[in-house]
With several copies, the nearest count.
Chain A
Amino acid sequence: SADAKSEGTLKLKIADITTNPVFRVAVSKGIFKKHGIEAELITFATPAEGINSLFIKQVDVAYGADFPLLNAVSKGNYSIISSTGTATDANASEWKLFVRNDIQSAADLKGKKLSFSRGTFIPYLWDVYLGENGIALKDVELIGQGGFDESYVALKKGEIDGTWIYGSVLKEKFGALQEAHELTDMSKTPVRLGTGLIVSDELIDSNSDQLVEFLKALDEASEYAQAHPDETADILFKEVKQPREATLKDLPNNPWSIGFTEKAYNGLVGQKKYMIDNKIIEQDFELKDKLNLDLVRKAFPDRVIELK
């Protein structure tokens, strides 16, 4: 845990997932160490599980998309300290909507079976996307799925009619399907997927200076990864067996920019409204209370907006 304050070194347990390069680069290139952070990475299957581990004090820092972040802050004394700046148009354009060939426009989705991954923001995305195209959520059937291999097979067999996917591996796989084609991508919708970092308020109170360094380290690690894609691909293959081609293709779309932008804020607001409306979050709360932007402001003053 995070009590070792001695000599300015902060021990952190960080919840990570397999596909994210930033933490791993920061560890293996000594960037954390340089910033006085002694990091241990814990790999989870999904961000949601990593964030859940915060509750049982198994990790100190977790990272995840808006959906699980909001779910977590609604439950206790945790704060979002930064966004990773991935709520960009470029990133959003990597979220592709693949549909069966008989669907040529959004209007054709009416009455169809649409896939979503459980515990993610996809239902929200469907809600917004369909709403914009004049289709109510109750006019389609949403099918919850456990993994992308599942939606791939289901789409191929016609057991579902449309699914959102992300990442080069999936884009290639789904692109090769005879039975389906790409209809649109998320950049054409108002939805931007933010990801952020979450820690306990306790940790912020006791180690705010080191956390500032932590944020700086992350930014530096992401820059390093962007500059050295091959090395990053090697690190990921070695440590988590992510195929090299996948890393190389996805890396340019995922530069982290530690900060807190207007887009990030709007993403959270929209997402939160949806979650409250759909009773996914039972107890409403003030979003501002759960955002602690002092640290990131110290680290990168020009990348943080003022909250009204």
Chain B
Amino acid sequence: MSFLRKKWVILLLLWGVGLTLWQLLSLLYGPEVLPGPIYTAKGGLELLEDGSILRYIGISSFRVLMGWSLGSLLAIPVGLIIGKVDIVRTFAEPFLNFIRFIPPIAFITLFLVWFGIGETSKIALILYATFFIVVLNTLTGVLSVEEDKVRSARSMGASEWQILVHVIVPATVPYIFTGIRLAMGTSYMAIIGAEMIASNEGVGYLIWNSRLFFRTDWIFVGLISLGLMGFLTDRAVGFLGRKLLFRYGVVSSTSLRR
């Protein structure tokens, strides 16, 4: 009990020290160089008053959630197929290991051309950002299914299709979930790229547009919004996963590797 209380005190102290340091540094270097917490809060308030920051967060969240869920929905069957069918895997693996080094932002022009300047291309960009992570994780999951499970199902008379549906897929759920959760991080990362495309709204737009007018305080507000959005959705996804996918052995993990 007293340890717990002590922990909170120390934590508060540490955060206090952190904030003070931030403010001091900002005073030292000037708000242009490092917008301090007070200056940032002012900028945030400005954006809060006219409601724009909340609208931006809403819009960006919508885009992220759309791109992320569509990407995951597409990626899961693709990952299952790549994992199950050897010849597809031989073909796809070098390709996957090649394309995963190409950042979403590099595809802006192409996506524009393919999907236009509306919501589609923005969502497609986020979809791209999440797709390969989920595919790779699903694939890893399929390859990690214990041979014993498949063997026992087979000797209990399950058909190959039944094995896929009743063994491979449920056994892969924890991997798929990890993939989906990791992809969540990347999709927030891709929002700036996505909102470089023909948009007048969104957190990514805020960050990018503030560059032009050198509003470092707004950039900070944008960064903090992004961090918070990511943090909260990650926790929410983790919580839902723990509740809904409990039987598949999805457990909480606070610090995820990216």
In the complex, are the beta carbons of A241 and B112 less than 8 A apart? Answer: no
Is B38 interfacial (CB 8 A cutoff)?
no
Closest to A242 in B: B213
In the complex, are the beta carbons of A56 and B112 less than 8 A apart? Answer: yes
In the complex, are the beta carbons of A148 and B212 less than 8 A apart? Answer: yes
Q: Which residues of B contact A43 (CB under 8 A)?
A: 198-200
In the complex, are the beta carbons of B116 and A58 less than 8 A apart? Answer: yes
In the complex, are the beta carbons of A18 and B211 less than 8 A apart? Answer: no
Chain A positions 153 through 187: 1 when the CB is less than 8 Å from some CB of chain B, otherwise 0: 11001011000000001100100000000000000
In the complex, are the beta carbons of A157 and B116 less than 8 A apart? Answer: yes
Is B109 interfacial (CB 8 A cutoff)?
yes
Is A119 interfacial (CB 8 A cutoff)?
yes
Query: A56 to B116, alpha carbons, bound, how many Å?
Result: 8
With a 10 A CB-CB cut-off, give which of A143, A144, A147, A243 has the most chain B CB atoms: A147
Closest to A54 in B: B214
Contact flag A159-B211 (CB < 8 Å), given A18-B200, A56-B32, A144-B198: no
Q: Which residues of B contact A243 (CB under 8 A)?
A: 213, 215
Write the nearest CB–CB distance from A52 to chain B, whole angstroms. Answer: 5
Chain A positions 209 through 230: 1 when the CB is less than 8 Å from some CB of chain B, otherwise 0: 0000000000000000000000
Contact flag A146-B196 (CB < 8 Å), given A59-B117, A159-B116: yes
Is B68 interfacial (CB 8 A cutoff)?
no
Query: A49 to B109, alpha carbons, bound, how many Å?
Result: 9
Query: A241 to B49, alpha carbons, bound, how many Å?
Result: 13
Query: A243 to B198, alpha carbons, bound, how many Å?
Result: 20
Q: Which residues of B contact A153 (CB under 8 A)?
A: 112-113, 116-117
Q: Which residues of A contact B214 (CB under 8 A)?
A: 52, 55, 75, 148-149, 152, 169-170, 173
Query: A55 to B213, alpha carbons, bound, how many Å?
Result: 11
Write the nearest CB–CB distance from B55 to chain A, whole angstroms. Answer: 11
Query: A45 to B213, alpha carbons, bound, how many Å?
Result: 13
Query: A298 to B198, alpha carbons, bound, how many Å?
Result: 32
Closest to A41 in B: B200
Is A248 interfacial (CB 8 A cutoff)?
no
Contact flag A240-B208 (CB < 8 Å), given A58-B117, A152-B214, A157-B116: no
Is A42 interfacial (CB 8 A cutoff)?
yes
Query: A45 to B47, alpha carbons, bound, how many Å?
Result: 21
Write the nearest CB–CB distance from A179 to chain B, whole angstroms. Answer: 13
Q: Which residues of B contact A238 (CB under 8 A)?
A: 50, 52
Is B69 interfacial (CB 8 A cutoff)?
no
Q: Which residues of B contact A55 (CB under 8 A)?
A: 32, 214
Q: Which residues of B contact A150 (CB under 8 A)?
A: 112, 117, 197-198
Tally of contact residues, A, Cβ under 8 A: 44
Write the nearest CB–CB distance from A4 to chain B, whole angstroms. Answer: 18
Query: A286 to B215, alpha carbons, bound, how many Å?
Result: 23
Contact flag A119-B212 (CB < 8 Å), given A56-B32, A58-B112, A150-B117: yes
Is B59 interfacial (CB 8 A cutoff)?
no
Q: Which of A53, A118, A242, A246 contacts B117 (CB 8 A)?
A: A53
Contact flag A56-B33 (CB < 8 Å), given A159-B118, A240-B209: yes
With a 10 A CB-CB cut-off, give which of B32, B33, B213 has the most chain A CB atoms: B213
Query: A52 to B198, alpha carbons, bound, how many Å?
Result: 12
Q: Which residues of B contact A285 (CB under 8 A)?
A: none
Q: Which of A119, A154, A246 contacts B198 (CB 8 A)?
A: A154
Query: A170 to B50, alpha carbons, bound, how many Å?
Result: 25
Query: A42 to B215, alpha carbons, bound, how many Å?
Result: 22
**Chain B, range 180-234, C-beta contacts under 8 Å to A:** 196-200, 206, 208-215, 218
Q: Which residues of B contact A157 (CB under 8 A)?
A: 116-117
Q: Which residues of A contact B112 (CB under 8 A)?
A: 53, 56, 58, 149-150, 153-154
In the complex, are the beta carbons of A146 and B197 less than 8 A apart? Answer: yes
Q: Which residues of B contact A148 (CB under 8 A)?
A: 212, 214
Query: A240 to B195, alpha carbons, bound, how many Å?
Result: 13
Query: A230 to B117, alpha carbons, bound, how many Å?
Result: 31
Query: A242 to B197, alpha carbons, bound, how many Å?
Result: 18
**Chain A, range 173-203, C-beta contacts under 8 Å to B:** 173
Write the nearest CB–CB distance from A151 to chain B, whole angstroms. Answer: 8
Q: Which residues of A contact B208 (CB under 8 A)?
A: 45, 146
Q: Which residues of B contact A173 (CB under 8 A)?
A: 32, 214
Q: Which residues of A contact B211 (CB under 8 A)?
A: 49, 52, 147, 149
Is A93 interfacial (CB 8 A cutoff)?
no
18 more contacts with CB within 8 A, not counting A56-B116, A240-B209, are: A19-B212, A48-B212, A52-B109, A52-B212, A52-B214, A55-B32, A56-B113, A71-B213, A118-B209, A143-B117, A146-B196, A147-B109, A150-B112, A153-B113, A153-B116, A169-B213, A241-B209, A243-B213
Q: What are 9 A-B contacts defined by CB distance under 8 Å?
A: A45-B209, A52-B212, A52-B214, A71-B213, A75-B214, A149-B211, A152-B214, A159-B117, A238-B52
Task: Give the 4 A-B CB pairs with smallest separation, nearest first.
Answer: A119-B212, A43-B200, A154-B117, A146-B196
Which residues of A are interface residues toward B (Cβ below 8 A)? 18-19, 42-46, 48-49, 52-53, 55-56, 58-59, 71, 75, 118-119, 143-150, 152-154, 157, 159-160, 169-170, 173, 237-243, 246
